[in-house]
Amino acid sequence: MKALVTGGAGFIASHLADRLIESGHQVVVVDDLSKGRAENLNPKATFHRLDIGDPALADVFAAERPEAVFHHAAHVDVTRSVADPMYDASVNIMGSLNLLECCRAHDVRKFVYASSGGALYGEPVSVPADEHHPVVPFSPYGVSKYVVEQYLYFYHLVHGLDYTVLRYANVYGPRQDPLGEAGVVAVFSVQLLKGDQPVIFGDGSKTRDYCYVADVVEANLLALNDKSGGVYNLGRGIEVTDLELYETVRQAIDSKTKPVFKDFRPGEVVHSALDASKAETELGWKWRTELKDGIAKSVDYYRTTSERAQT
């Protein structure tokens, strides 16, 4: 089929575009390159440089007629969402509504939405949290991701749009932006490779659930055949402290650098992990990549890109 991938020059979605093309699908990428990189674009994909909130998106749909849409374009900076919730909403809510209107007008068959488990569940009552956990986001980012889930239900109910929601844990791997705040594996890797001293916010005991990008991509492909309205957590269900993650990255690089500790940032939860048993039962999805192996692959990528930049 023909699939349109928003944010397809970014981290997760560029891997998804590659995997879709490998599977024989035609791929159209929409990305404004504000965060994504042109070098991440698959040369076999048709590329439109465009913000998802731009009215011209309707022209892209009219020309390309995609059957499926994978929506990954988003504002993901939790700290900025706390400081500027209107900007966060303008991208994550209004941009998504523009996309959904295009899907409605052009009879898109399937919509797969990249949501966030950790940001939606707030400070979890139980860990790992399943899909029945109360939605109590601590940040405007989490609010905006959940609002779009509710709009998807509306578009299904009123317009018949077939959709699946995938609630990600902390996804990491090659191509993750080391300059942003969302990709701590990338941040630690690049800083340690440069010999810089990374920062850990808090005392290092904060936990997250880390899932390798290739595993998450496979869930997106499985979602193409999912029944409409499915909502699934994607994670390993294993809590990893900031210090444990730091040590794993440090060992992969063979660095002796110690981190600096700074104050905990507002809008962040203390502990987070996702129960993905529903995805295993209903989608047939299971994570495959151990943290140590995924970090080794990530470090190799950042080492290689660093060496290229120096030549």
List, in order of start, the domains of the chain with CATH numbers: 2-171+212-234 (3.40.50.720), 172-208+238-310 (3.90.25.10)
Identify whether the C-beta of residue 230 lies closer than 8 Å to the C-beta of residue 276.
no
Q: What is the pLDDT of residues 106-138, one digit of tens each?
A: 999 999 999 999 899 988 899 999 999 999 998
Predicted local distance difference test score (pLDDT) of residue 310: 57
Task: Quote the CA–CA distance of 192 and 180 in Å, as a whole number.
Answer: 16
Predicted local distance difference test score (pLDDT) of residue 189: 97
Q: Is it the case that residue 2 has pLDDT exceeding 60?
A: yes
Q: Is it the case that residue 69 has pLDDT exceeding 80?
A: yes
Identify whether the C-beta of residue 275 lies closer than 8 Å to the C-beta of residue 236.
no
b/e 154-173 (16+ beta carbons within 10 angstroms → b): ebeeeeebbbbbbbbbbbbb
3-state secondary structure of 48: strand
Q: Pairing state of beta strands 240-241 and 207-208?
A: antiparallel
Q: Which residue numbers are catalytic?
A: 141
Angle at 186 between CA 166 and CA 219, to 5 degrees: 20
Q: What is the pLDDT of residues 191-224, one digit of tens each?
A: 999 999 999 999 999 999 999 999 999 999 999 9
Higher pLDDT, 66 or 180: 66
Task: Quote the CA–CA distance of 124 and 142 in Å, as a whole number.
Answer: 14
pTM for the whole thing?
0.94
Identify whether the C-beta of residue 118 lies closer than 8 Å to the C-beta of residue 269.
yes
H or E segment to which residue 216 belongs: helix 213-223
Predicted local distance difference test score (pLDDT) of residue 183: 87
Q: What is the pLDDT of residues 243-269, one digit of tens each?
A: 999 999 999 999 999 999 999 877 678
H or E segment to which residue 11 belongs: helix 11-22
Q: What is the pLDDT of residues 173-182, one digit of tens each?
A: 999 998 765 6
Predicted local distance difference test score (pLDDT) of residue 216: 98
Q: Pairing state of beta strands 68-71 and 46-49?
A: unpaired
Q: Looking at residues 34-54, what average pLDDT do you find?
A: 97
| Confidence class for position 309, pLDDT limits 50, 70, 90 | low
In the chain, the amino acid numbered 23 is: S
Q: Is it the case that residue 84 has pLDDT exceeding 70?
A: yes
How many angstroms separate the Cα of 243 from the Cα of each of 115, 181, 202?
26, 17, 10
- Mean pLDDT taken over the chain: 95
In the chain, the amino acid numbered 145 is: K
In angstroms, the first-to-last Cα distance of the chain is 40
3-state secondary structure of 280: helix
Predicted local distance difference test score (pLDDT) of residue 235: 98
Predicted local distance difference test score (pLDDT) of residue 138: 87
3-state secondary structure of 307: helix
Q: Which residues contact 113 (CB under 8 A, 6 or more apart)?
A: 71, 148, 149, 152, 163, 164, 165, 166
Q: Is 27 exposed, middle or buried (0-12, 13-18, 19+ CB in 10 A)?
A: buried
